[in-house]
């Protein structure tokens, strides 16, 4: 009998596990199973979709078609799915999206889809991951809640002492995956703030604790020895909260000289302007690779919204953090992108939002651009109301519904007035970018990007061979992506 880990992909405020990212859940789980003397087989939801919906026949898109991102991320086990599932006695299903996004080359499974895909299997079905707190693939909706008649809820609550062992043991899960993966590395749980932001599930899930630097290093080395070269220190609320971050980064580079990408993710602006802020910023610029982004959960520049949702930063503090990161990180690195610049997350549908909220957002964003600072990306979403959050208790979706009719207009204004000129500053026409990976087709366009945190999407005319590295020259700009032409890779 077989134990299967079915990865339906995860996306949380602190932690990404949607390809090309590989999250911590399947890796730690694989290690835990091994520690119990149990072998496992790793499958993705793409493997199961291909078997169930297409009889296992791989899809080659016609010239006019888009690459099928529902079946793009197959494992080395894809050809044997039928047999594997026939023999399956236990299936651990990892699932859950808490920060809905758009994914270029993957599509996370919804609970509805996963339930249908596995409904006829006779095995134990154990759900794990963010899904146990609900899941929502689209903002502006209530989350899907688990039907406990269909699934068991798995205990997945490894503390860092357990993670130390399981993360190393589970590193060989990479042997099941034929394509490049960016390894999301956990450095902390929970949030430093005593009272969290109104919409966020992180304080509900975990108490604040940082993972020991030696454990992080040991796990990364095990993954590196299994072929990993692309890493993001991304599973935490703020990487600046990590004790002695400069030493950690320096030791990573020393122990793993062939790393191609080392990036970070979440940053609390308040820590950037704090005691270690400048020292940490300099270390990130020195030891991480270029095109690095500090994703800052600003959520709103409207002071009323900040106060009523207990948000973690004010517009003034955010501005100061943006200035510090730009001071050290703005310069370009070898792949053509700035070394380290900030990104901003904005949420609409929070308590206290009025028609003035977007004017506050635009005022500050214009100031940032006018003062010569770079921002890599502005992530705008409608709030997803998760169970048990203060927002749900204060009124849930009613704040979103109040201004819903303005949402697309507001979003468009930010895209037109801020994103486009910002993209033109970051990648002026003629800029050459290297290490661009060809990922999917859409009609006669190949969409490509660099590996790493919040990579820029590049549209190149023609259907180039997929899964290859190329260099491109920038020829134009869209709202959130660029247009390029292929040039010879150095």
- Region binding ligand SF4 by CB under 6 A among candidate stretches 76-84, 191-199, 275-283, 414-422: 191-199
**Residue 15 is a binding residue for ligand SF4 (CB under 6 A):** no
- Region binding ligand SF4 by CB under 6 A among candidate stretches 199-207, 250-258, 380-388, 464-472: 199-207
Among 45, 183, 197, 284, binds ligand SF4 (CB under 6 A): 197
At its nearest, how many Å lie between ligand SF4 and the CB of residue 345?
9
Distance CA 432, CA 316 (A): 35
**Residue 235 is a binding residue for ligand SF4 (CB under 6 A):** no
Whether 455 contacts 291, CB under 8 Å: yes
**Residue 13 is a binding residue for ligand SF4 (CB under 6 A):** yes
Whether 347 contacts 382, CB under 8 Å: yes
Among 165, 181, 193, 449, binds ligand SF4 (CB under 6 A): 193
Structure tokens at 213: 């630097």
**Residue 200 is a binding residue for ligand SF4 (CB under 6 A):** yes
- Region binding ligand SF4 by CB under 6 A among candidate stretches 131-139, 176-184, 200-208, 474-482: 200-208
At its nearest, how many Å lie between ligand SF4 and the CB of residue 15?
11
Distance CA 382, CA 396 (A): 12
At its nearest, how many Å lie between ligand SF4 and the CB of residue 192?
7
Segment 296-325, which members bind ligand SF4 (CB under 6 A)? 297, 312
**Residue 191 is a binding residue for ligand SF4 (CB under 6 A):** yes
Residue 48 class from Cβ within 10 Å (0-12 exposed, 13-18 middle, 19+ buried)? buried
Which residues are CB-contacts of 483 (< 8 A; sequence separation ≥ 6)?
458, 459, 460, 461, 474, 475, 476, 477
At its nearest, how many Å lie between ligand SF4 and the CB of residue 190?
8
**Residue 127 is a binding residue for ligand SF4 (CB under 6 A):** no
Whether 415 contacts 479, CB under 8 Å: yes
Distance CA 139, CA 255 (A): 41
Strand partners, 4: 41, 91
CB neighbours of residue 328 within 10 Å: 17
Q: Between 224 and 301, name the residue whose CB sits nearer to ligand SF4.
A: 301
> SS3 for 487?
strand
Binding residue count for ligand SF4, defined by CB under 6 A: 12
Residue 148 class from Cβ within 10 Å (0-12 exposed, 13-18 middle, 19+ buried)? exposed
- Region binding ligand SF4 by CB under 6 A among candidate stretches 189-197, 364-372, 375-383, 395-403: 189-197
Which residues are CB-contacts of 228 (< 8 A; sequence separation ≥ 6)?
171, 174, 181, 183, 220
Give the residues lining the site for ligand SF4 (CB under 6 A).
13, 191, 193, 196-197, 200, 202-203, 237, 268, 297, 312
């Amino acid at each position: 009998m077989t134990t299967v880990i079915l990865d339906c992909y995860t996306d949380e405020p602190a932690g990404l596990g949607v390809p090309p990212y590989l999250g911590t859940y399947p890796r730690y789980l694989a290690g835990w199973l091994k520690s119990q003397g149990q072998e496992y087989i790793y499958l993705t939801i793409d493997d199961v979709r291909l078997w169930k919906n297409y009889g296992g026949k791989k899809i080659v898109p016609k010239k006019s078609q888009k690459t099928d991102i529902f079946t793009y991320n197959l494992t080395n086990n894809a050809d044997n799915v039928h047999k594997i599932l026939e023999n399956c006695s236990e299936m651990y299903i990892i699932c859950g999206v808490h920060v809905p996004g758009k994914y270029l080359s993957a599509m996370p499974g919804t609970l509805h889809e996963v339930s249908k895909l596995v409904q006829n299997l006779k095995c134990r079905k154990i759900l794990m991951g963010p899904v146990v707190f609900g899941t929502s693939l689209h903002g502006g909706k209530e989350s899907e809640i688990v039907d406990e008649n269909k699934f068991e809820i798995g205990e997945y609550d490894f503390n860092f002492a357990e993670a130390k062992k399981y993360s190393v043991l589970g590193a060989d899960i990479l042997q099941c995956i034929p394509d490049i993966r960016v390894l999301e590395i956990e450095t902390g749980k929970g949030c430093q703030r005593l009272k969290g932001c109104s919409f966020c599930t992180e304080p509900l899930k975990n108490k604040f604790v940082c993972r020991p630097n030696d454990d992080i290093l040991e796990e990364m080395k095990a993954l590196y020895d299994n072929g990993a070269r692309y890493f993001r220190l991304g599973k935490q609320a703020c990487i600046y909260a990590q004790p002695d971050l400069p030493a950690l980064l320096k030791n990573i580079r020393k122990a793993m000289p062939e790393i191609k990408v080392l990036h970070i993710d979440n940053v609390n602006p308040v820590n950037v302007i704090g005691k270690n802020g400048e020292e940490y910023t300099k270390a990130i610029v020195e030891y991480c690779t270029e095109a690095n982004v500090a994703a800052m959960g600003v959520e709103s520049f409207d002071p009323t919204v900040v106060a009523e949702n207990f948000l973690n930063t004010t517009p003034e503090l955010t501005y100061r953090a943006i200035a510090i990161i730009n001071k050290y990180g703005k310069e370009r690195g070898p792949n053509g992108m700035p070394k380290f610049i900030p990104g901003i997350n904005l949420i609409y549908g929070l308590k206290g939002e009025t028609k003035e909220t977007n004017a506050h957002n635009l005022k500050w964003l214009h100031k940032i651009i006018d003062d010569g600072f770079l921002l890599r990306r502005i992530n705008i979403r409608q709030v997803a109301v998760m169970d048990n959050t203060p927002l749900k208790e204060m009124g849930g979706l009613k704040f979103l519904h109040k201004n819903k009719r303005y949402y697309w207009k507001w979003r468009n204004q930010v895209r037109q007035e801020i994103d486009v000129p910002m993209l033109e500053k970051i990648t002026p026409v003629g800029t050459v970018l290297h290490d661009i990976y060809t990922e999917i087709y859409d009609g006669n366009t190949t969409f490509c990007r660099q590996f790493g945190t919040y990579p820029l999407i590049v549209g190149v005319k023609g259907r180039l061979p997929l899964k290859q590295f190329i260099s491109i020259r920038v020829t134009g700009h869209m709202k959130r992506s660029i247009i390029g032409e292929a040039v010879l890779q150095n």
